[in-house]
A = this chain, B = another copy of it.
């Protein structure tokens, strides 16, 4: 039946509730584009959406996933930007097209307030798509919408990363590896933290100039200072939250930028003006989460010009969707967990 497609559906919370089902291909409205999704990638948000720890008010059945890439198969009336055959990727905050976010745009996120994209076909407003980078596969492209754009927006648009500055990244998750790759492409020095020698070797292979094992150095901010002649770094992205934010602040120099991009160790930020020298050192703590479609396009140009390839931990077929979520849950992944629908 060519009106049917496969889609993942969640009818109650739990990874083991993720089911591949047959659904009807969505009807195409005016100004919308029908996209044949080829791959999706998972984010920490997907994990806490599915296990119910983030948002209790999910309308079941829920189609998960915010990150997706595919090919245009049909366009609705009035569509001018896309044609069948175009390789595209989903813009997570659909209506954030340019400039700064506003309250109205902020309330519409794919896989949260509106359905996700883990389905063979989705219908998307034409302004909610971005052209895929020419140098990337669909699996690679599917890793970009949240993790890469978050790292880009933080480093390039908020922090204004300059050639020759020093950036500190945390661990081997998606945002942090993109931050490493983006910072290196931009000519920065990168110091990375991690928990094992094996991961340290991987980080160095990806370009990290120095790696700190935080098991070996629980007060790792002291190592960061030592590696920067006592000065501290210009920019860091904190992805763990509660357990790391204090040391993140102690790792930056005067007027330093601490982007807070995640909360895998807890959402509380137990800060102290004196202990963390917030005022004395003019530190900027900056909340962040993805970027606009215009930013996404700018990032994709950078990805193509510098031939950056995302780090993919593993690609799962759609039938193993539960395994993919469990891989993310394990915390053992390096880079992005991807599910192929091709």
Interface residues of A (CB under 8 A from B): 97-103, 106, 156, 160-165, 182, 185-189, 209, 230-231, 241, 253-255, 260-261, 263, 267-275, 277-289, 294, 298-299, 301-303, 305-306
**Can you list 7 pairs linking A and B with CB atoms under 8 Å apart?**
A99-B294, A100-B282, A102-B254, A163-B182, A164-B298, A185-B187, A283-B286
The answer to whether residues A254 and B306 also contact, given A260-B273, A273-B263, A287-B273 and a CB cut-off of 8 A, is no
Give the residue of B230, B254, B275, B283 whose beta carbon is less than 8 angstroms from that of A267: B275
Question: Min CB distance, A221 to chain B, in Å?
Answer: 15
Count of chain copies: 4
Instruction: Specify which chain B residues have a CB less than 8 angstroms from the CB of A278 in the assembled complex.
Output: 260, 269, 285, 287
Residue among A97, A103, A278, A303 with the highest chain B CB neighbour number at 10 A: A278
Which 3 residue pairs across A and B have the least CB separation, nearest first?
A164-B302, A278-B287, A98-B99
Question: Min CB distance, A147 to chain B, in Å?
Answer: 14
Question: Min CB distance, A33 to chain B, in Å?
Answer: 18
- In the bound assembly, the distance between CA atoms of A281 and B301 in angstroms comes to 22
Question: Min CB distance, A62 to chain B, in Å?
Answer: 20
